[in-house]
Amino acid sequence: MSRTEGEVLAAIEKRRRRPHYKLMDEMITLSHGAGGRSSHVLVETLFARAFENPLLAPLADAAVLEVGSERLAFSTDAFVVKPLVFPGGDIGDLAVNGTINDLAMAGAVPLALSAAFVIEEGFPTKDLAAIAESMGEAAAAAGVPIATGDTKVVERGGADGLFICSTGVGRIPDGVVLGAQRIRPGDRVIVSGTIGDHGMAVMVARGDLELEVDLESDTAALHEVAAALLGAAGEGVRCMRDPTRGGVATVLNELAMAAEVGITIDEDALPVRPQTMGACEILGIDPLYVANEGKLLAIVAPGVADELLALLRAHPLGADAAIIGEVRPEPPGMVILNTSFGGSRVVDMLAGDPLPRIC
Amino acid sequence: MSRTEGEVLAAIEKRRRRPHYKLMDEMITLSHGAGGRSSHVLVETLFARAFENPLLAPLADAAVLEVGSERLAFSTDAFVVKPLVFPGGDIGDLAVNGTINDLAMAGAVPLALSAAFVIEEGFPTKDLAAIAESMGEAAAAAGVPIATGDTKVVERGGADGLFICSTGVGRIPDGVVLGAQRIRPGDRVIVSGTIGDHGMAVMVARGDLELEVDLESDTAALHEVAAALLGAAGEGVRCMRDPTRGGVATVLNELAMAAEVGITIDEDALPVRPQTMGACEILGIDPLYVANEGKLLAIVAPGVADELLALLRAHPLGADAAIIGEVRPEPPGMVILNTSFGGSRVVDMLAGDPLPRIC
Residues of A in contact with B161 (CB under 8 A): none
Q: Using an 8 Å Cβ cutoff, are B60 and B106 in contact?
A: yes
Q: What is the structure's pLDDT at A1?
A: 41
Q: Please state, in angstroms and rounded to a whole number, the distance separating the CA atoms of residues B350 and B31.
A: 9
Q: Do A148 and B79 touch (CB under 8 A)?
A: no
Q: Please state, in angstroms and rounded to a whole number, the distance separating the CA atoms of residues A344 and B3.
A: 85
Residues of B in contact with A108 (CB under 8 A): none
Q: What is the structure's pLDDT at A4?
A: 63
Q: Which amino acid is at B44?
A: E
Q: Please state, in angstroms and rounded to a whole number, the distance separating the CA atoms of residues A195 and A191.
A: 8
Phi, psi of B18 (to 5 degrees): -70, 135
Q: What is the structure's pLDDT at A272?
A: 98
Q: Counting runs of H as helices and runs of E as strands, what totals does chain A give?
A: 10, 14
Provide the 3-class DSSP secondary structure of residue B37: helix
In this predicted model, what pLDDT tens digit does every residue of A92-107 receive, in sequence order? 999 999 999 999 999 9
Q: Do A67 and B62 touch (CB under 8 A)?
A: no
In this predicted model, what pLDDT tens digit does every residue of A20-70 receive, in sequence order? 445 568 999 999 999 888 999 999 999 999 999 999 988 888 999 999 999
Q: Please state, in angstroms and rounded to a whole number, the distance separating the CA atoms of residues B302 and B308.
A: 10
Q: Please state, in angstroms and rounded to a whole number, the distance separating the CA atoms of residues B216 and B117.
A: 25
Angle ∠(A33,A34,A37) on CA atoms, nearest 5: 100
Distance from CA of A317 to the nearest CA of B (A): 24
Q: Do A151 and B47 touch (CB under 8 A)?
A: yes
Q: Please state, in angstroms and rounded to a whole number, the distance separating the CA atoms of residues B347 and A262.
A: 67
Q: From the list B27, B119, B129, which residue is nearest A124 (CB)?
A: B27
Q: What is the structure's pLDDT at B22?
A: 54
Q: Do A76 and B167 touch (CB under 8 A)?
A: yes
Q: Do A165 and B116 touch (CB under 8 A)?
A: yes
Q: Which of A71, A121, A165, A355 to mutate to test the interface with B (most CBs of B within 10 A)?
A: A165
User: Which one-letter DSSP state was computed for residue A303?
Assistant: G
Q: What is the structure's pLDDT at B1?
A: 41
Q: Do B125 and A169 touch (CB under 8 A)?
A: no
Q: What is the pTM of this model?
A: 0.94
Tell me how crowded residue A314 is: count the other CB atoms within 10 A of its CB.
11
Q: How many residues does chain B have?
A: 359
Q: Using an 8 Å Cβ cutoff, are B8 and B344 in contact?
A: yes
Q: Please state, in angstroms and rounded to a whole number, the distance separating the CA atoms of residues B349 and B343.
A: 20
Q: Do B165 and A76 touch (CB under 8 A)?
A: yes
Residue of B nearest to A140 (CA): B51
Average pLDDT over residues A203-217: 85
**CA torsion B272→B273→B277→B278, rounded to 10°?**
170
Distance from CA of B47 to the nearest CA of A (A): 6
Tell me how crowded residue B252 is: count the other CB atoms within 10 A of its CB.
29
User: Which one-letter DSSP state was computed for residue A3?
Assistant: B
Distance from CA of A97 to the nearest CA of B (A): 14
Q: Which amino acid is at B296?
A: L
- β-bridge pairing A63-67 and A70-79: antiparallel
Return all residues near B218 (Cβ < 8 A) that are at least 6 apart.
Answer: B88, B193, B194, B197, B198, B292, B293, B294, B295
Q: Which of B69, B146, B165, B174 to mutate to test the interface with A (most CBs of A within 10 A)?
A: B165
Q: Please state, in angstroms and rounded to a whole number, the distance separating the CA atoms of residues B237 and B299.
A: 6
pLDDT band at A16 (very low <50, low <70, confident <90, very high): low
Measured over the CA atoms of residue B149, residue B152, residue B156 and residue B158, the dihedral's sign is negative
Distance from CA of A343 to the nearest CA of B (A): 36
What b-and-e string marks burial along B306-341, b requiring 16 or more CB atoms within 10 Å of the CB? eebbebbeebebbebbbbbbbbbeebebbbbbbeee
Q: Using an 8 Å Cβ cutoff, are B39 and B46 in contact?
A: no
Residue of A nearest to B66 (CA): A111
Q: Which amino acid is at B12?
A: I
Q: Do A76 and B52 touch (CB under 8 A)?
A: no
Q: Please state, in angstroms and rounded to a whole number, the distance separating the CA atoms of residues A2 and A154.
A: 50
End-to-end CA distance of chain A: 29
- β-bridge pairing A146-154 and A109-120: parallel
Question: Of A143, A144, A97, A105, which Cα lies nearest the Cα of A293?
Answer: A97
Q: Using an 8 Å Cβ cutoff, are A17 and A354 in contact?
A: no
Phi, psi of A136 (to 5 degrees): -60, -40
Q: From the list B72, B117, B136, which residue is nearest A78 (CB)?
A: B117
One digit per residue, pLDDT tens: chain B, 359 residues? Answer: 445 667 777 776 666 655 444 556 899 999 999 988 899 999 999 999 999 999 998 888 899 999 999 999 999 999 999 999 999 999 999 999 999 999 999 999 999 999 999 999 999 999 999 999 999 999 999 999 999 999 999 999 999 999 999 999 999 999 999 999 999 999 999 999 999 999 999 999 988 777 778 899 999 999 999 999 999 999 999 999 999 999 999 999 999 999 999 999 999 999 999 999 999 998 899 999 999 999 999 999 999 999 999 999 999 999 999 999 999 999 999 999 999 999 999 999 988 888 899 99
Q: Which amino acid is at B86?
A: F
Burial class from Cβ neighbours inside 10 Å (0-12, 13-18, 19+) for residue A69 reads exposed
Residues of B in contact with A146 (CB under 8 A): 51, 53, 56
Residue of B nearest to A134 (CA): B50
End-to-end CA distance of chain B: 29
Q: Do B42 and A70 touch (CB under 8 A)?
A: no
SS (H, E, C) B299-326: EECHHHHHHHHHHHHCCHHHCCCEEEEE
Rg (CA), chain A: 20
Q: In which order are the strands placed within the sheet that holds A109-120?
A: A63-67, A70-79, A162-171, A109-120, A146-154
Q: How many residues does chain A have?
A: 359
Q: What is the structure's pLDDT at B3?
A: 57
Q: Do B112 and A158 touch (CB under 8 A)?
A: no
Provide the 3-class DSSP secondary structure of residue A183: coil
Question: Of A219, A204, A242, which Cα lies nearest the Cα of A134?
Answer: A219
Predicted ipTM of the assembly: 0.94
Supply the angle between the helices A274-283 and A197-206 in degrees, to the nearest 10.
Answer: 60
Q: What is the structure's pLDDT at B78?
A: 98
Q: Using an 8 Å Cβ cutoff, are B289 and B274 in contact?
A: no
Residues of A in contact with B114 (CB under 8 A): 63, 74-76, 167
Q: Do A50 and B135 touch (CB under 8 A)?
A: yes
Q: In which order are the strands placed within the sheet that holds A297-300?
A: A237-241, A297-300, A188-191, A322-328, A262-266, A334-338, A344-347
Q: Using an 8 Å Cβ cutoff, are A114 and B76 in contact?
A: yes
Angle ∠(B35,B38,B42) on CA atoms, nearest 5: 95
Q: Do B149 and A56 touch (CB under 8 A)?
A: yes
In this predicted model, what pLDDT tens digit does every residue of A221-280 receive, in sequence order? 999 999 999 999 999 999 999 999 999 999 999 999 999 999 999 999 999 999 999 999
- The helix (run of H) or strand (run of E) holding residue B13 is helix B5-17
Question: Of B315, B316, B336, which Cα lies nearest the Cα of B324?
Answer: B336
Question: Of B59, B67, B75, which Cα lies nearest the Cα of B112?
Answer: B75
Return all residues near A253 (Cβ < 8 A) that are at least 6 apart.
Answer: A333, A334, A335, A347, A348, A349
Give the ranges where A113-271 is alpha helix by DSSP (H): 125-142, 197-206, 223-233, 247-259
Return all residues near B55 (Cβ < 8 A) that are at least 6 apart.
Answer: A112, A145, A147, A148, B63, B64, B65
Please state, in angstroms and as integers, the Cα–Cα distance from residue B341 to each residue in B1, B9, B103, B338, following that order. 9, 18, 38, 8
Q: Do A169 and B74 touch (CB under 8 A)?
A: yes
Q: From the list A56, A111, A157, which residue is nearest B148 (CB)?
A: A56
Q: Do B163 and A54 touch (CB under 8 A)?
A: no
Q: From the list B33, B152, B171, which residue is nearest A152 (CB)?
A: B33
Q: Which residues pair with A164 in a beta bridge?
A: A79, A117
Q: Do B145 and A54 touch (CB under 8 A)?
A: yes
Q: Please state, in angstroms and rounded to a whole number, the distance separating the CA atoms of residues B97 and B93.
A: 6
Q: Please state, in angstroms and rounded to a whole number, the distance separating the CA atoms of residues B5 and A141.
A: 54
Q: Please state, in angstroms and rounded to a whole number, the distance separating the CA atoms of residues B252 and B327.
A: 10
